[in-house]
Amino acid sequence: MFQLTQKKAVVTGGGSGIGKAVAIALAARGAFVHIIDNNAAAAAETLSEIANAGRSGKVHTCDVSKQSEVVEVFNQIGQHDVLVNCAGISHIGKADTTSEADFDRVVNVNVKGVYHCLYASIPHMKKNGGGAIINICSIAAHVGLSDRFAYSMSKGAVHAMTLSVARDYLADHIRCNSISPARVHTPFVDGFIARTYPGKEAEMFEKLSKSQPIGRMATPAEIAGLVVYLAADEASFITGTDYPIDGGFITLNN
């Protein structure tokens, strides 16, 4: 089950974190994976791990916030079956402590970045006779998180875009779903804790881990497993759905 042999997949943000795990997991199931990232060295490391496992892929250096770059890359890639929008950034702040510059930065990457990839990918999928799109959303689109004003706004937009794309391209056999993780243990999380709570890293890691009812953070591989399912033909009856993968955060914290 869940074999992706003969399929071509595109993963944005594939150089690190969830995106890296997704790229590796899709390749392990047989897909040829196109890795899009603005960090060429990190993307190359992901590709190296894929190659070492006997699988194939290609790196594309691109800033997803710039539509011209995105369109050029997707035209180079051409026909593909799967798009996973993982690229994104975080931000800490409330409505009255978020600067316009920071707000715009989050919009440009998290909202326009997803839009740009949808804009560039969908015409190729239509010509291909269909495909599967998976957007990495967040529990922030569903619940109120403290000090995450801009980030939550951006993920709410990703959720809405998922529903719109799912509706608009039914006749083109393009499925679009999203995944909403809670906290996932990535290098970004470790860096955030080190910068924000110097000297209290272990204490804060434990506190953030326990904020999930299940008692720990997710691993990137756990998110990638759900991506593999939604990309596979076994999920061909699923579209317009968001999947919380949150250790019970949304339903059990109330």
- The ranges assigned to domains in the chain are 8-182+219-246, 185-217
- From 115, 119, 151, 169, the catalytic residue: 151
Residue 211 phi/psi, 5-degree rounding, is -70, -15
Amino acid (1-letter code) at residue 171: A
Residue 7 phi/psi, 5-degree rounding, is -95, 150
Task: Please say whether the beta carbons of 192 and 149 come within 8 A.
Answer: no
What is residue 28's predicted lDDT score, i.e. its pLDDT?
A: 98
What is residue 192's predicted lDDT score, i.e. its pLDDT?
A: 81
Alpha helix segments (H runs only) across 63-145: 67-77, 100-106, 112-128
What is residue 254's predicted lDDT score, i.e. its pLDDT?
A: 62
Segment holding 33, helix H or strand E? strand 32-37
What pTM does this model have? 0.95
Task: Please say whether the beta carbons of 15 and 185 come within 8 A.
Answer: no
Residue 111 phi/psi, 5-degree rounding, is -100, -60
Quickly name the fold that domain 8-182+219-246 has: Rossmann fold (3.40.50)
CA 105 to CA 80: how far, in whole Å? 29
Amino acid (1-letter code) at residue 41: A
pLDDT tens per residue, range 176-189: 999 999 999 998 88
Contacts of 125 (CB under 8 A, 6+ apart): 80, 81, 83, 131, 133, 169, 172, 174
Radius of gyration of the chain (CA): 17
Residue 152: CB atoms within 10 Å: 20
Q: Which two tokens stand for residue 187?
A: 């290098």
Asked if 119 is an active-site residue, the reply is no
pLDDT tens by residue, the chain, 254 residues:
899 999 999 999 999 999 999 999 999 999 999 999 999 999 999 999 999 999 999 999 999 999 999 999 999 999 999 999 999 999 999 999 999 999 999 999 999 999 999 999 999 999 999 999 999 999 999 999 999 999 999 999 999 999 999 999 999 999 999 999 999 999 888 888 898 889 999 999 999 899 899 999 999 999 999 999 999 999 999 999 999 999 999 999 76
CA 4 to CA 8: how far, in whole Å? 8
Amino acid (1-letter code) at residue 58: K
